[in-house]
Amino acid sequence: MNVKLQLHKKAFKELTADELYELLRVRSEVFVLEQNCVYQDMDGDDQRAIHLWMTDGDKIIALARVCPAGTHMKEISIGRVITTERGRGYGKQIMLHAIDAAMDYFDATRIDIEAQEYARGFYENVGFKQSSDIFMLDGIPHIKMTWVKEI
């Protein structure tokens, strides 16, 4: 049975304990276990972020967080982007929702991300452009990418 996809969008204080637990569990599963990368996922930015996630039934299939300027980065930023079912377009959908949330919540006209270098093409497909040289972050090659609102 195909359950309708649902988008969830909440500020940190609106999250239930179960929602927060599930978001952190999925982030740990992908970023720490799957990518074999030991790093501090709970970095103190979640409390000021807008959290977005998509579900199919009760399963999280994509998530992202939008941070206001001056938290994770100098500019408004999107991070912790995950899809648990790759190749189905959920990553693009959650990114487009995150860009919309950045504009709605923080009046974004510019958004920065720290993208894993291999994912450059994915982020280019939603309007980001590389804005730095490659740098290492948590042992993984990254690039800064920037989205600018078209006027």
CB proximity list for 48: less than 8 A, separation 6 or greater? 12, 67, 68, 71
Q: How many residues does the chain have?
A: 151
DSSP lists the bridge partners of residue 126 as none
CATH number at residue 11: 3.40.630.30
The distance of Cα 138 from the centroid of its chain, to the nearest Å, equals 17
Sole residue written with tokens 């998509």: 54
> Left if phi > 0, otherwise alpha if psi is -120 to 50, otherwise beta: which for 104?
alpha
Q: Which domain holds residue 144?
A: 5-148
The pTM score is: 0.90
The reported pLDDT for the residue numbered 148 is 97
Please state the φ and ψ torsions of residue 5, each to the nearest 5 degrees.
Answer: -70, 140
Q: Say if residue 10 is exposed, middle or buried (CB neighbours under 10 Å; 0-12, 13-18, 19+).
A: middle
Q: Rounded CA gap, 100 and 79, in Å? A: 14
**Alpha helices in the chain, H assignment, sequence order:** 17-27, 90-106, 120-124
Per-residue pLDDT 10s for the chain (151 aa) are 456 899 999 999 999 999 999 999 998 887 655 666 666 566 789 999 999 999 999 899 999 999 999 998 999 999 999 999 888 999 999 999 999 999 999 999 999 999 999 999 999 999 999 999 999 988 889 999 999 998 7
Q: Could you give the number of structural domains in the chain?
A: 1
